[in-house]
Structure 1
């Protein structure tokens, strides 16, 4: 399993969201409060953030636990951004892909993360992978369920689907192929956030010119609201919309 967070708002130091709060991502790596499977997320971590004037985000990803990377702690103290996506990884299966398997995955302006697991990987998703082109399969950053889910989402984005539709369609197709899959997906382009709650916790904080969507609250702000199961979240700094995923079913 994993924990992840996306933020849009006024520029903030990465550490102010990922390291400093009492229940920040760094603590969720070893003491998550609402995780339904696994207790430690120490198999890698990453953060992607946007700089003014550049639509393509920077990414910093590593294979070890977030709490052991002193260089990241120093970087997070001074790097500021108006939008970011961070994640800590708890690997479902052993693998040799290293930091390539750590979220966020990215392409162009997009950053993506998956909190969950697909039982029966890789066979369960083989029918979905067959819908990708050879070039898209060769672009996979890692041999993991998360990387393939990202390829499926990106395929839909490149076909012109809005981000919410791309996530919803991917989740419904993956859930049909693997009914016990946990499919909390998180996507941002630096201006908007889309996320799904499917098999694990998801929370949203909105107001005062910012929005955060996260696996669990990073502090005790009373504004945090839990997202209902099997729901799509689409959010910007202006508003948050919750849509039952069953409304996307054919």
Structure 2
């Protein structure tokens, strides 16, 4: 409903145009409009996506769409540990299925990232010690084929170990120098000294990181992605970022 504007004029209004220009009337207007708030529906961009809505939701929020039973996180639901070469190696952590995507302080993906790092650490320790023995790694306990020798690999996985070693030998690690053409002349003396200095500084930084985290920094092909198969990359990056931010806060305090 629209109300008519109310004009407040001077008590003595002069019809003379000149006086009107000198005495401009003060206008006050107030409009009251009654409107109905429309209901808005937001639809996501589903162009080119062939999966159903439930499949898209389960990818983000987990599988509890139709009232499935709740599943425990990786820290609660564990299969115990196995003593391998004197090291208690835990079972491979289970990816969580109950993330609410609301930015919790202790996100289940951050906890899962910590469990994966601890599992890899213990597995590397056991792999280093089992090399000194003739013990065979249990086939159902996720043997690290890249860190084991053939004598420590179960018989059922030795063919896989051979294929893994073959792929590792064929794979050539690329460096930034591969992007440039090879030099015909030797490097300047200052450049050689700078390279030696950078190598020494990098070794010192790695040593400090090992002392802070208690983990040995090793060159590995696919150890970083192990445990994250089938998990979107952005979730892994989010979990690692949150862990680094928390470590910074702990060091500052």
TM-score range, shorter chain: under 0.3
Q: What is the TM-score with the length of structure 1 in the denominator?
A: 0.22
Query: Which protein has greater RCO, CA pairs closer than 8 Å, 6+ apart?
Result: 1
- Higher strand fraction: Structure 1 or Structure 2? 1
- Higher helix fraction: Structure 1 or Structure 2? 2
Mark the structure with the bigger radius of gyration. 2
